[in-house]
Amino acid sequence: MKFLVFILLSFFALYLSLNPSLISPRDGISAKPIVILLYFLTLYWRPIWALFVAFFLGFLYEINLSVLTGTYPFLFTSMVFVLSEIEKKIFKFKFNSLVLLGSFIFFFGLVQSLIEARNAKIIFYKIFTDLIPEVIFNIFIGFVILFFINKRK
């Protein structure tokens, strides 16, 4: 039953990632539901399943964007691998762990802007106008999810 919920959440996160206008407060800032899903699944469920799902979601995400360079499966699986390696050192149920979520979202957004924009001026502009507010927005979403996890615990 948990595995079925896990698969449904993965496809829902993929759908929200491919349609960012459904959950974004303004243009340029969007939630990263795949990164948030992989973060919480790695910390609060089995990291080995999160590795498989990270590769699968990265592959589907890349096919839908028509990029096909192998960047997103590598990016998602490396994020899950790093998170699973330092899982024992993180206080899971503390809100301080959301700093790591913010750093992953910043890194993901930086790689995504490097893929999309070829001009350094545009990348520097996107960091301050889109990426930093996006990190704050996603940390807020993670804060709400972690609040409900702690309340359930």
Q: Read off the pLDDT of residues 43-74 as tens digits, 9 standing for 90 and up.
A: 878 888 888 888 988 888 888 877 667 888 89
Q: Read off the pLDDT of residues 131-149 as tens digits, 9 standing for 90 and up.
A: 888 888 888 988 888 888 8
Work out the pLDDT band at 1, boundaries 50, 70, 90.
low
- State pTM to two decimals: 0.79
pLDDT given at position 29: 64
pLDDT given at position 25: 59
* Count of other CB atoms within 10 angstroms of residue 153: 7
Average pLDDT over the chain, rounded to an integer: 81
Give the integer Cα–Cα distance in Å for 131 and 127. Answer: 5
pLDDT given at position 118: 73
pLDDT given at position 111: 84
3-class SS of residue 119: coil
Give the integer Cα–Cα distance in Å for 152 and 89. Answer: 23
Q: Which residues, 6+ apart, have CB-to-CB distance to 123 below 8 Å?
A: 113, 114, 117
Q: Read off the pLDDT of residues 5-33 as tens digits, 9 standing for 90 and up.
A: 777 888 788 787 777 666 665 666 666 88
Please list the alpha-helical segments (H only) found in 19-70: 33-44, 47-65
- Three-point CA angle 4, 108, 135, nearest 5°: 95
pLDDT given at position 87: 76
Burial 36-57 (b: 16+ CB within 10 A, else e): bbbbbbbbeeebeebbebbbbb
Q: Read off the pLDDT of residues 78-121 as tens digits, 9 standing for 90 and up.
A: 989 988 888 777 766 677 888 888 888 898 888 888 877 777 77
Look at residues 123, 116, 141 and name the one whose alpha carbon lies nearest to residue 35.
141
Name residue, tokens 């503390």. 94
Give the integer Cα–Cα distance in Å for 90 and 43. Answer: 9
